[in-house]
Amino acid sequence: MLRFLSLFIATLVFTFHVQANPLGLGRTALPVELAAWNTDVRPDGMGLPEGSGNAADGEVIFAEKCAACHGDFAEGVDRWPALAGGQGSLQDARPLKTLGSYWPYLSTSWDYIYRTMPFDAPASLGADETYAIVAYLLFANDLIDDASFVLNRENLADIVLPNTEFFRDDDRATTEYPVLTDACMDNCKPSVTITKRATGVGVTPDQADN
């Protein structure tokens, strides 16, 4: 019996590894199910639905559904993120990273807003509303100056954001790893002084019950 069992198991393993047959698990996704969940968008426009909106309409929607956190002009409120401004600030001590100053692709904002925003009512915006809000963000960032400009499925992927070309793939393996090998063990430096302290910065939470 044992011999039969091990032969049986060996056959299973052989079948699995060599023939790579699927296990026959799961079921076929229905078109309506795919449509319900596959709502993501890429920079080339793949995934954008039919629809359109202009910045003037977007300003009204933004004021109603977005401005409580992001400000009327997308300048940000409290610690909620600014979505406009910051152009030319990326080398500053306090850079402001927004759609106009930093983000590489316009599709990203369409995708994120449509699938995730508003924060307290996610995925509640229609396609026309989303096109309008994204058009308003272009307007708020001075990337278009005509509030009647209509953003739609056909022209969104053609709009190039200012900072697109300033992204590059991870280069640590060539720039950093070959250099970061210092492992001095003895008499590595003649003196040491404290240059900065956390005490006085005053941002550590109360730790009374540590």
Query: Footprint of other proteins on residues 6-35 (CB under 8 A)?
Result: 20, 22-23, 25-29, 33-34
What is the C-alpha to C-alpha distance for residues 133 and 128, in angstroms, rounded to an integer? Answer: 9
Which listed residue (93, 145, 158, 174) binds other proteins by CB under 8 A? 93
Q: Which amino acid is at 190?
A: P
Single-letter amino acid code for the residue at 192: V
Please report, as residue ranges, which positions from 44 to 83 form the binding site for other proteins (by CB under 8 A).
44, 69, 78-80
Return the number of the residue (11 or 175) whose C-beta is nearest other proteins.
Answer: 175
Q: How many residues sit close enough to other proteins to count as binding (CB under 8 A)?
A: 77
Our finding on whether 187 is near other proteins (CB under 8 A) is yes
User: Counting contacts by CB under 8 A, is residue 192 touching other proteins?
Assistant: yes
- Whether 91 contacts 163, CB under 8 Å: no
| Residue 174 touches other proteins, criterion: CB under 8 A | no
Helix (H) or strand (E) holding 134: helix 127-140
Is residue 128 helix, strand or coil?
A: helix
6, 9, 50, 119: which one contacts other proteins (CB under 8 A)?
119
52: CB partners within 8 A, 6+ apart = 128, 131, 150, 151, 152, 153
